[in-house]
Structure 1
Amino acid sequence: MNQFNFNDDDDSQLKQLITMLPDNYAVVYRKDGRVRINKVGLSFTALFFGILPAWFRGDWYNIFCMLGIEAGLTMLYSFLTGSDLATASYQLGIFFNFLWCGLYNLMYFRHSQSSGYKPYDDRSAQLLKQHRYYR
C-alpha cells in the first residue's frame, strides 16, 4: 500500500518530499511500500490531546499501552489517596498529557521498528539514532 500514490518504480517524488521536511522529521519505510513520516522529539499534539494522536495514526498497540499505564497509575493513585477513580483520573490528566508529550513519538518509532520499518535515508537513520529512537 502506497499511501502517497507514488510510483513504486520511481521514488523521486518521495525524495522531493523529503527535501521539504523540517530537520526534526524522520522517514521510515517497510518492504511492502508503506512509508511513515513523523516528528522526532516532543509530541505537542499528545500534550494537548492525550492519546488522540495515537488514535488518528491507527497506532492501536500504543493506544492500549497508554490506556493500560493510565488505568494502572490511576488505580494506584486512587488507592494511595483514598479518592474515587473519577477524581483520581481528573487529577492525573495533566500529568499523563505531559508524560505522553515526552514519550509518544519514541513509542511510535520503536513500535514501527518492531513492525519492520527501517529508516528511508541516512539523514533519518542518523536522526533516529541520535535521539535513541532506534537501537
Structure 2
Amino acid sequence: MNQFHFNDEDDAQLKQLINMLPDNYAVVYRADGRVRINKVGLSFTALFFGILPAWFRGDWYNVFCMLGVEAFFTMLYSYLTGSDLATASYQLGIFFNLLWFAIYNLMYFRHSQNLNYQPYDRRSAQLLQQHHYYR
C-alpha cells in the first residue's frame, strides 16, 4: 500500500493523478509501494522557509546535512569576522536560503535514489536525467 492508500485495482486512479501534474514534477516509487512526488528545479519553498520544507517532508537526512552546513559556515564566518554567532547566523541567512533554493530539490531526489526510489514512468525518468538529478 502506498501513501495515497491506493490498492492495485486503483492503479488507474494513480495514473490519472500523475497525468494532472505539471510538466516539471517527477514521480518516484519504491518496491514497497511508497510514492514521492516533487518538483524538479528551483525550490521556492526553501527560498522563503530555509530548511523547513525538508523538516515537514520528514527528510531528516537532508535536514541534518543542511543544519551541519549552516552551522559550519556560521562558525567560520563568526571566527573570521569576530562577530557573535547570532549576528553571523543572521547575516548568512539569506545566503543559505539562496543556496537551498538552488539545490534542495536535487538533494531530495538524490537521497530518494539512495533509498531505492525509481522513476515511476518514462516522463519522470527523462525529466530527472535531463536535469542530472539521477545518476
Shorter-chain TM-score tier: over 0.9
CA contact (8 A) 1:8 1:33 kept: no
- Listed one character per residue, the Cα deviations across residues 85-110 of structure 1 (whole Å, up to 9, x for unaligned) are 11000000010000000010000000
In 2, the alpha carbon distance for the partners of 1:81 and 1:55 equals 30
**Local SS of the residue matching 2:8:** coil
Identical-pair percentage: 84
Structure 2: how far apart are the matches of 1:123 and 1:18?
10
Report the TM-score, using the length of structure 1 for normalisation: 0.98
| Dislocated runs of 4+, deviation >3 Å | none
Q: Distance in 1 between matches of 2:3 and 2:113?
A: 19
Unaligned runs of 5+ in 1: none
Look up the match of 1:134.
134
Q: What's the CA shift for 1:8? A: 2.6
1:23 maps onto 2:12 in alignment: no
* Superposition pairs of residues 59-98 of structure 1, within 5 angstroms: 59-98=59-98
Post-superposition shift, 1:10? 4.1
> 2:119 aligns to what?
119
TM score, norm. by length of structure 2:
0.98
- In structure 1, the residue matched to 2:53 is 53
Structure 2 CA distance for aligned equivalents of residues 74 and 17 of structure 1: 42
| Structure 2 residue matching 1:66: 3-state secondary structure | helix
Structure 2: stretches of 5+ with no match in the other structure: none
Higher mean Cα deviation, 100-109 or 4-13?
4-13
Task: String of CA shifts for 1:54-80, please: whole Å, max 9, x gaps.
Answer: 011000000000000000000111111
Q: RMSD of the alignment, in Å? A: 0.8
The superposition leaves residues 84-135 of structure 1 with CA deviations (integer Å, 9 ceiling, x where unpaired) of 1110000000100000000100000000000010000000000000000000
Aligned length: 135
